[in-house]
Copies of this chain bind each other. A is one copy, B any other.
Amino acid sequence: MSVTNSSGPVRVTVWGEYRHEKSHDAVRKVYPDGMHTAIAKHLQKEPHFQVRTATLDESEHGLTSEVLQATDVLTWWGHMAHGEVQDAIVERVHRRVMEGMGLLVLHSAHFSKIFRKLMGTSCDLKWREANEKERIWIVAPGHPVAEGLPEYFELEHEEMYGEHFDIPAPDELVMVSWFEGGEVFRSGCCYQRGKGRVFYFRPGHETYPTYHDRHVIKVIANAVRWAAPTEGPKPLYGNRKPLEKIGD
């Protein structure tokens, strides 16, 4: 049903590291214009989404203050070049999350600087590249991120990520993955940090067409809607006078 709060589109910035696509034929074959472009094209079809992209090798990684101020939800995919992301840009993204910007952390971005800074833990996990089947079960069917999904969906070939995943317990756990090789994984994890909402979503290895899967795109679009900021109170911090008279 209609849950419109206010006018205006959801402004999404899809950030991609965009390196594997240039250096690996196998990846370029699946994502000729980069994974970020693929994700952005799918999201542009959603009503009320206004989508742009940004990549590592642009100036300021494409994430200037102006771009971030005009971003409601940022999606982040990175893998081989986490270390090249400048600390000053990480701080800038972090400040925007504290202010209310939503952040979607995709797959190998579990090891990105921004996710580790927001989580406060190592964010380590098990992994294996063996073309395994992943079956993603919805464990919170009433959650907005699960809107329009079946009770599970499958990805025929994915990289395995297995527990233990060293994250804080999610505020809300929406999905758990089953892997052919014998592991499980908390695959859809919701967090509130500052005034911003953070969603970690597991699938998305660069050699598979995961970001063309309709269920994966549905989850990402739902998560963008869930993470879009609301106009909440702006708390005052620091030294404050008493609201009540204090005893003489």
The one of B6, B192, B247 in contact with A168, judged by C-beta atoms closer than 8 angstroms, is B192
B1 and A72 contacting across the interface, CB-CB below 8 Å = yes
As for how many copies of this chain the complex holds, the number is 4
Contacting residues, chain B, for A164 (C-beta < 8 A): 137-139, 141, 151, 233, 235, 237
Tell me which of A34-42, A54-62, A172-180 binds B: A172-180
- Tell me if A155 counts as interface (CB < 8 A to partner B): no
The one of B1, B138, B194, B228 in contact with A233, judged by C-beta atoms closer than 8 angstroms, is B138
B9 and A5 contacting across the interface, CB-CB below 8 Å = no
**Contacts known (A163-B176, A176-B176, A246-B132); A2 close to B1, Cβ less than 8 A:** no
**Shortest distance between the CB of A179 and any CB in chain B (Å):** 8
Main secondary structure of the interface of A (DSSP, over half): loop
**Shortest distance between the CB of A170 and any CB in chain B (Å):** 9
- Tell me if A23 counts as interface (CB < 8 A to partner B): no
Q: Which residue of B lies closest to A182 (CB)?
A: B243
Contacting residues, chain B, for A188 (C-beta < 8 A): none
CA distance A48 to B3 in the complex (A): 8
A237 and B124 contacting across the interface, CB-CB below 8 Å = yes
CA distance A3 to B6 in the complex (A): 8
Contacting residues, chain B, for A234 (C-beta < 8 A): 141, 151
CA distance A166 to B191 in the complex (A): 14
CA distance A103 to B195 in the complex (A): 25
**Shortest distance between the CB of A7 and any CB in chain B (Å):** 6
A98 and B166 contacting across the interface, CB-CB below 8 Å = yes
CA distance A59 to B60 in the complex (A): 40
B137 and A163 contacting across the interface, CB-CB below 8 Å = yes
Contacting residues, chain B, for A8 (C-beta < 8 A): 1-2
- Tell me if A203 counts as interface (CB < 8 A to partner B): no
Tell me which of A14-22, A74-82, A114-122 binds B: A114-122
**Contacts known (A142-B194, A247-B180); A230 close to B147, Cβ less than 8 A:** yes
The one of B120, B140, B178, B237 in contact with A184, judged by C-beta atoms closer than 8 angstroms, is B178
- Tell me if A135 counts as interface (CB < 8 A to partner B): yes
